[in-house]
A = this chain, B = another copy of it.
Amino acid sequence: MRSRREVDVASLVGQAREGSPRAVARLVSLVENAHPALREVMAALAPHTGHAHVIGLTGSPGVGKSTTSSMLVRALRARDLRVGVLAVDPSSPFSGGALLGDRIRMADHALDPEVYIRSMASRGHLGGLAWATPQALRVLDGAGCDVVLVETVGVGQSEVEIAGLADTTVVLLAPGMGDGVQAAKAGILEVGDVFVVNKADRDGADATAREIRHMISLGDRSEPGLWRPPVVKTVAERHEGVEEVMAALDKHRGWMEERGELRRRRVRRAAEEVRAIALERLRARMGDLGEGGRLEQLATAVADGQRDAYAAADELVAALA
């Protein structure tokens, strides 16, 4: 039997690129577990990345994110595209919940080998979403997905984070949830490239759409030359409005490519990723200095009032160089 630690990276990446859902799942697990082979995986995938259109999907609980994902997956499959879905729940510290979620979401597309669906919990780690999600995205991208949907519950920071990860950010709203006001508060208005008012068969859908349009018209977004986010109404359960959403996504991608914005966003995203990995590395290196080393000496001086924490931090940074 093989040890759990041994991973044949070249063959795994090869299988993933040939369309093995099992190999893709394995690679995402390596990311989640920060497996030692991760470096090698990322190096092997790098030349194959940059193809996928990454679409972020965010909204409050209950607006219909899963249903909308499912609707979009079907539409993308009708175009014969390979699709990845990454469902990130930043509020859940339990990976078990994510697994359950997988099964429920799978239902519609479980037997389609061209659809990879994966739930990730951020497991309560600070920076968990920021760190693992971009790498999981790269796996799906490198495995040949044409589109990757990243779905996340809109809680505070996560909309902003998802907007940093996605080429196109879709903000999902529903009538009668006070979403308009929430949107303004949480900065959703600034991050959304496409707004979707789901459950549009309910009372108040037109009012919600109007409110969002009005707010967009008041913001910087209304300036000429900038992308003016469309507001689309859907009933995702009945696949109503799916063509309009797809058209809005195509249009946004085209607009970004024309302006060089797609590349700019991707460079920005890569910068965040590189920065996060570099900080993680520096943090680990400081840890090495900890036991009986420089950090402990400095900390002792601070605890004894012989040095302030800033002066000590200066010395620590100098010691890393």
**A308 and B42 within 8 A (CB):** yes
| Option from B126, B283, B302 in Cβ contact (under 8 Å) with A270 | B302
Asked whether, in the complex, the Cβ of B299 is within 8 Å of the Cβ of A274, the reply is: yes
Q: Enumerate chain B residues within 8 angstroms of A312, measured Cβ to Cβ.
A: 270, 274, 277
Which residues, 53 to 89 on A, are CB-close (under 8 Å) to B?
Answer: none
Take A43-B310, A126-B126, A273-B309 as given contacts and tell me if A296 and B278 are in contact as well, using a CB distance cutoff of 8 Å: no
Q: Is residue A260 contacting chain B, with contact meaning CB distance below 8 A? A: no
C-alpha spacing A157/B125, complex, angstroms: 9
Are A303 and B50 within 8 A (Cβ)?
A: yes
Tell me if A306 counts as interface (CB < 8 A to partner B).
yes
Q: Is A320's beta carbon under 8 Å from chain B?
A: yes
CA distance A25 to B29 in the complex (A): 49
Residues of A within 8 A of B (CB-CB), count: 59
Q: Are A49 and B305 in contact (CB under 8 A)?
A: yes
- List the B side residues contacting A295 at CB < 8 Å: 271, 274-275
- Tell me whether A177 is interfacial, beta carbon within 8 Å: no
Complex alpha-carbon distance, A283 and B278, angstroms: 9
Q: Is the CB of B278 within 8 A of A286?
A: yes
- Shortest distance in angstroms between A289's beta carbon and chain B's nearest beta carbon? 9
A188 on the interface (CB 8 Å rule)?
no
Query: Is the beta-carbon distance between A310 and B50 smaller than 8 angstroms?
Result: no
A213 on interface, CB distance cutoff 8 Å: no
A176 sits at the interface (CB 8 A): no
Known: A277-B310, A279-B283. A50 touches B305 (CB 8 A): yes
- Since A267-B299, A274-B312, A275-B295 are in contact, a sample of 17 more A-B pairs with Cβ atoms closer than 8 Å, ordered by chain A residue number, is A38-B310, A39-B308, A46-B306, A50-B305, A126-B127, A267-B300, A273-B302, A273-B309, A274-B298, A275-B283, A275-B286, A275-B316, A279-B279, A279-B283, A281-B313, A281-B314, A282-B317
Interface residues of A (CB under 8 A from B): 38-39, 42-43, 45-50, 93, 124, 126-127, 134-135, 138, 156-157, 263, 266-271, 273-275, 277-279, 281-283, 286, 290, 295-296, 298-300, 302-314, 316-317, 320-321
6 contacts between A and B (CB under 8 A): A38-B310, A42-B309, A274-B312, A277-B310, A278-B316, A279-B283
